[in-house]
Structure 1
Amino acid sequence: MSENEQPGPAAFDEVRRALAAVDRDTRTRLLATLARRFGDLDLAEDALQEALAQAVSTWPATGVPQIPEAWLTITATRKALDVIRRENTLAQKLAQLHIETDRAPLASSYADPAETLSDGTTIPDDRLAMIFACAHPVLRAEDRVALMLRFVAGLSVDEVAHALLVPKTTMQQRIVRAKKRVATLGVPFGVPPPDAVPERLAGALRVVYLLYSEGFSRSTGSTHIRDDLTEEAIRLARLLHRLLPGRAEVTGLLALLVLTEARRRARVDDAGAPIPLADQDRSLWDAALIAEGTLLAEAAAAAPDAAGYAIQAAIAAVHAEAGTFDATDWAQIAVLYRLLEAHDDGPVVRLGRAVAVGRAYGPAKGLRLLEGLSGDAALSRYRPYHVALALTRTELGDARRAADDYRRALALPGNAAEDAFLADSLPHDDLCPE
């Protein structure tokens, strides 16, 4: 079929299959393309929905286009332009978007939605621009996460609300407020200039990292792990890596998440209780993910711009290559944490180094480092810090003070599965009333 030939009528089942193939990934691509062109998330969403609705009514008569994504892009673009005309703001919008004519920005081969492309032309992936917009520093942290999940991951409002553990109405209001802020402040839907890329990229990577962290060990709720959150975080990390393959920190983040996810099956028992790293059945670790993550970690470490995520990926790779807990090269991990402190000297990194030093050089030395962090206000509210103290003191035979540490950990917020694990770690008498 040539480019100018019209496809024939299509059966409803064929249309339904074609629309089903326009999956979440494709829709986020389309939405990003429209948002980048028009600078308006509401307009982009509405235009895409109208284009999908028109496909339902048009394709049975005209046939399914050879490249449905191109058809939907053109149709949604025209729908958006129609809205702009109706709002009598066409001149202003055209000036902003540099649109000289209704059709000028479209390639000649995209001249009509009924026409199809047979030359292999693809729709450009504008999701990188969407990522930078959603991670813009003028947005509040919680709004960045919500926008990334909604418009980059493609989750529905219900799914975002569930992921972030807030009521649907609250999430609707948060997304509306964030979109209004994007529009009011003129947040650009485009890749920032080179000097602004590192800061903006760091914000985007942080969103993905925090999303995975919440799924890895929930801050609340009944279960220890949220697979839906970890899966979405890895999907976003893969997307960023596909769009920015040469960035060491992007590669490092993906490596870190993949290597961490490789341990997923061994991290909880059949009842959902957490299993410490020392007690995990390493035969359950995913060898394919470890192989992928190790290659990514090596690539990140070798890059001249390697930094925090690349070093964290290297730490995860050292854990992954150890056949047993005792065979772990804790001395190397301690060195890597020291390197990581040059990029992030925060309390959690210092905690990680203290634990690694204790494993490498003995619990007494580790305890001295851990106790040296006792004045840090953030760590005093951080459950893993008190757990690390409890485990180290248990190794040193100080059961009484270890029990105190466990009680402090239990007093802090956490998920119910973790609460039960910590309670079981206390001496039985300690849980009984006098």
Structure 2
Amino acid sequence: MPSSSTGSNQINTPDQHGFFGAYGGRFVPPQLEAVIKEVEEAYLSIRQDQSFWDEYQRLLTHYVGRPSPLWHARNLSTKLGGAQIYLKREDLNHTGAHKINHCIGEVLLAKRMGKKRVIAETGAGQHGVALATAAALLGLECEIHMGAIDVAKQHPNVIRMKLLGCKVIEVTQGGACLKDAVDSAFTDFVTNHRDTFFAIGSVVGPHPYPMMVQDFQSVVGREARAQIQEQAGRLPDYLVACVGGGSNAMGLFTAFLPDTEVSIIGVEPAGKSDQRGEHAATLSFGTPGMLHGMKTYLLQDDGGEPWPVHSIASGLDYPGVGPIHAFLKDSKRAEYVAVGDAETLAAFRQLSEVEGIIPALESSHAVAYAAKLAPRLSADKIILVNLSGRGDKDIDYVAEVMGI
């Protein structure tokens, strides 16, 4: 794998069994072992194939619109006082979020494997839209599994997926949210694996998915690292990104992991309260366990069953987290905090009014924490926030909640 293509380093590279420290691995039923092993072997092969990465980069440049800009949010910085805030503008990618980065990579891989169809889960709908887009571009069928609650909250993205020629499966089982959509997609994959590629939408799931999605997303951090040095003349003091499964965060964090002078902060959804079922702050309140083929932190009962979870941001309402984040927490290379729904809404509105940028509710968690951190720091400090997506998908829901 060309280092210039993925930016991986030894700090967050898994062992041969897919473990990042004590977390990760591949814990799947026997009928899935050979199927996932096929994905691993195919990915390890293309990881060393320069022609694959050349095609991937060509599409990122000429189709997605990379590099995405790094914006010095001077208005917000002045209003808050203290540190300078920079925004990595993943919201300006084609389809409006970071998700397109790994979807292009996964669909390219699926084609290399001879698959005819891609499936996935989605919460906020951004992964679903991005996968449907990549599938349309590259000529594969696409089917997206989405919880009924999220279908209602994210109706514009459901329409976008259907316009792109994608079949949307509304999942009503369980809590009818992201975890249940993952369950549904896995069931489909078991049945139809011969012609189907499961394009998992975050750094979660059985090996090689966490490594693979991290590799495709690492373009975010490589760009941001070069851009901040060009604009500010040095590295940032803090990185801040929202964490559900954690793909956008690992996209930013990966390039900076060796730079111990850079503090890394992941922001989880504290939801309505710290009571069970009213948040999805896995690393703040969870314990190690098994979920969706991986060992990681999760919110679980005494029997190991996942809790119901909540976040105002559909893309963050997941009871687990990527195993790389679990490893970074235990190794203390990253810190994980939580921000509630009310603070998130306030940040959503503040960034819109002060900078003219309407952020996704997921990204608003990171903006909200940066807004609390900046006034505590001196003006020569730099906070780099990953603005992982735009808020078009959220405006109807936010208007209803805020009474606009």
Q: Which has more strand, going by share of residues?
A: 2
TM-score scaled to structure 2, two decimals? 0.31
Q: Which has more helix, going by share of residues?
A: 1
TM-score scaled to structure 1, two decimals? 0.29
Larger radius of gyration: 1
